[in-house]
Amino acid sequence: MQKRNATVAVIGAGDFIGGEIAKKFASEGFTVFAGRRQGEKLVPLVKEIEAAGGTVFARSLDARKEEEMISFISDADKHAPLEACIFNIGANVNFPILETTERVFRKVWEMACYSGFLAGREAARVMLPRGKGAIFFTGATASLRGGSGFAAFASAKFGLRAVAQSIARELGPKNIHVAHLIIDSSVDTEWVRQLIANREGKEAIENLDPNRLMRPAAVAETYWQLYQQPRDAWTFETEIRPFGEKW
């Protein structure tokens, strides 16, 4: 592994997509700054990256709190120049409209949209003086269309997409690549598998079509491909889904 004098900040370094993104960039020589709300859950990720020869710093991060986001991004950049910032907070919930409380709606917006704005702004703050960097945002099917029971989630993801578009148009001419990745599929996680089992029965999991769910490692590969794009052929938005997905 060739070490780079560069860091990547992974905000929302969960057990699946976020963790795989962290591992991919670490394997390419980046120092990883990984943050999630319950920092103690990052221990297995840290062990895996370090066992493979990578470097990672992990901490608890409530991305909705401005002071925590400022500190997280600043510390990452102080260690080595921040070359990539990946915002990967989901906040996927489903409630009928009459059961969507004010607190649920506000909290989902804070997690999936407002904290994305904070991440993008703070990453831009440290990247602009050097005139280089990449800021990537994880979107979902809900970024493009609202679904039944997804008023809170879809509105937040719509908002995050607008934030990403605005930042991209402002920072692209300044040599900072901003991209929005729409994951138009269920991702292969324990939570998703449990949902399928609850809705369709345990036999649905036992006979699960391998084309139905997207592997988190495949998502991480797409982020790495985005990072490698030449600046005269940058993608702002890309949609990914398993080849067997109906859309």
pLDDT (tens digit per residue) in 53-73: 999 999 999 999 999 999 999
Mean pLDDT of the chain: 94
Furthest-apart CA pair in the chain: how many Å?
55
88 close to 180: Cβ distance less than 8 angstroms: no
Which residue, 7, 72, 19, 68, is CA-closest to 43? 19
- Nearby residues of 168 by Cβ (< 8 Å), 6 or more positions away: 178, 179, 180, 236
Q: Which amino acid would we find at residue 39? A: G
pLDDT in tens, 187-212: 777 777 777 778 788 777 777 776 77
pLDDT number for residue 187: 79
pLDDT in tens, 111-126: 999 999 999 999 999 9
- State the pTM of this model: 0.93
Which residue, 33, 30, 27, 35, is CA-closest to 52? 27
9 close to 38: Cβ distance less than 8 angstroms: no
137 close to 120: Cβ distance less than 8 angstroms: yes
pLDDT in tens, 72-112: 999 999 999 999 999 999 899 999 999 999 999 999 999 99
